Structure 1
Amino acid sequence: MGSVNIDLSLGVGALPRPGETVLASSMTQAPGGKGGNQAVAAARAGARVQFVGAVGDDPAAEQLRAHLRANGVGLDGAVEIPGPSGTAVVVVDANAENTIVVAPGANGRFTLTDDRARGVVADCDVLLTQLEIPVDTAIAAAQHARSAGAVVVVNASPAGQDPASLGELAAAADVVITNEEEANEWPWRPAHLVVTLGSRGARYAGADGEYSVPSPAVDAVDTTGAGDVFAGVLAANWPPNPGSAGERRLALRRACAAGALATLVPGAGDCAPDAEAIDKALQNAS
């Protein structure tokens, strides 16, 4: 459950400083958004996925729906809201680092009041949500899914949310995924905390102790969608409760491999590897 956007990606030599204008060497437009990217990543990794979220009533909406359908993602929980769909501007430099600005559009007005969306959330085995939708909506979904017995995975991104609301969301989460910067906003300790470390892999702290999982070494082209791919593949492979420590570690290994492979493809919406590619990356790394 989460956002879908049309991503406008611009390639530059160096990210602009405040007040600076730079010329882009390339421009692409493609479906993206954290929720959509994570749904596609989970589906390509082999999970049966339903997307819950909102699009507008503009031409971009059908492009977003078509992209999800083409990747095997169900739309039983997708709703249409009058107005524009979400849009993101992604600026990527020569070192594959990026800066992103998002105009939420329909994502920012999405609530869990639609009966079909609530039904999909209640029926899932694993709910993966993040914070490009209103945090109150994420809280409602997490509580609804957990009461139905699902594993709740929260990708605590983007940062900058109200601490009281984050605390309420933390109470409903089984697994929380943050990056190193976002981890500073997350003082709560869920059963399983996963901190992504970019090219260095991920760090786990929780019921299974503390340990790190490395990522395969790759020559990155664009890191834009890597975190979303990591989250989607982690959710796709996370075991139902109670699960085992070995199953959870394997899910982390697969997520790290998938995140690394995602950096080899420009753009976020189509960078997720399939299960076979993930398997091969793990075999080559062992």
Structure 2
Amino acid sequence: MTKANPNLIAVGDNCLDAYLNKGFLAVGGNALNVAVQWRRHGLNARYFGALGADAEADIMLAAIEEAGLDRRDVEIRPGASAVTLLTDDAGERRFLLESLGVGEDYVPSDDRYAALRQADWVHLGTNSSATLVRRLVADGVPFSIDVSTRHFDLSLEGVPLVFASGPDDPAEPVEPLIARFRAAGARHVVVTCGKRGSFYDDGAGTVEAGSVPVAVVDTCGAGDSFIATFITARFFSDLPGKAALDRAAERASQTCTHLGGFPQPVRAIPQWLLAKYDAVIRSTQRAGT
């Protein structure tokens, strides 16, 4: 269908990324990045997720508000906010710690779930709740889910659209992976394969598109930009599959040209955060990672 300004909601993961070797913080997470990308392009977007009652949440909420999203859509729950410690080498990231915090297996409150049922499209980020997936399927909500970090951990029966990572080696066929997702019950499947490009299967056939070469600053969030763009291009602008892949690849390449999953002020890592994770940092240094 064609719809100029659909009601879009991204649900799930957020994180505070601390780039230890570069000394700065970036706010991100698959679901949050998708919502921000929608908002940056003038779309009616919301983000539902959870944060702890801590100083990390203060940084996250400020960035969420700066991006044009409503901080009141974010739930504050007992526990810790998600934090990732990583290093970056020429745009390639190495993760030292991924703490999912209170956002792990997040299921929105009843009032927020009611909003999901009215949405034109919902996107679920990585590490999504199996319970939430089944509820959305049962209620007939149009939605997608990113399963890049765990392809078949969740039941995909009846899921309208699955995004997944695939092999970047051209010699390795993508079709068997797509077939597995289809056999698992996914109706539409998008597989992204880095520089190799991307593939889309709608049940009637598979199309593919190349990537867009660019001078990489940071790959963080490129896949999320791809997801946000593909959804709107394919399902709300009625672009054919190949054209939707091409547009998504272009937006993903643009994201690689700046730090973080979306343009944001560079924040220095505060000393209190380094002190909080001092034991983790020291242990990884001793291990030579």
Number of positions where the alignment pairs a residue of Structure 1 with one of Structure 2: 243
> What is aligned with 1:275?
none
1:7 is aligned to 17
Q: What does residue 23 of structure 2 align with?
A: 27
Q: Deviations over 1:199-237 (max 9, x none)?
A: 232111223521211222211121122112211222233
Q: How does 1:168-179 map to 2 (within 5 A)?
A: 168=155, 170-179=156-165
Unaligned runs of 5+ in 2: 1-10, 169-173, 265-289
Contact 1:157 1:178 survives alignment (8 Å): yes
Q: Residues 105 and 130 of structure 2 are in contact (CA less than 8 Å); yes or no, is this contact kept in structure 1?
A: no
Q: Percent identity?
A: 23
Deviations, residues 161-187 of structure 1 (Å, cap 9, x unaligned): 63xxx2x2x223211111115985982
Aligned residue number for residue 117 of structure 1 = 112
- TM-score, normalised via structure 2 length: 0.75
Match of 2:219 in 1: 223
Q: Which amino acid aligns with 2:112?
A: A
Shift of 1:122: 0.9
Inter-CA distance 85–227: structure 2 relative to 1 (3 Å threshold): same
Tell me the alpha carbon deviations over residues 120-178 of structure 1, each in whole angstroms, 9 at most, x when there is no partner.
211110111122343333443x326xx25x4211111322763xxx2x2x223211111
After the TM superposition, which parts of structure 1 deviate over 6 Å for at least 4 consecutive aligned residues?
A: none
TM-score, normalised to structure 1, is 0.75
Amino acid at match of 1:187: R
Does 1:106 pair with 2:108?
Answer: no
For the 8 Å contact 1:199–1:260, the answer to whether it is kept is no
Q: Retained in 2: the 8 A contact 1:159–1:185?
A: no
Structure-2 change in CA distance of 1:74 and 1:213 (3 Å): farther
In the alignment, structure 1 segments of 5+ residues that lack a partner are: 11-23, 272-286
Deviation at 1:264, TM superposition (A): 0.9
- Residue 55 and residue 62 in structure 1: after superposition, are their counterparts in 2 closer, same or farther (change >3 A)? same
Equivalences for 1:121-140 in 2 at 5 Å? 121-140=116-135
Task: Work out the CA distance in 1 between the residues paired with 2:64 and 2:181.
Answer: 33
Q: Do 1:77 and 1:116's aligned partners in 2 also have CA atoms closer than 8 Å?
A: no
Q: Which of 36, 41, 63 pairs up with 2:37?
A: 41
- Aligned AA (1:238): R
Q: 2:245 aligns with which of 242, 252, 261?
A: 252
Q: Partner of 2:283 in structure 1?
A: none
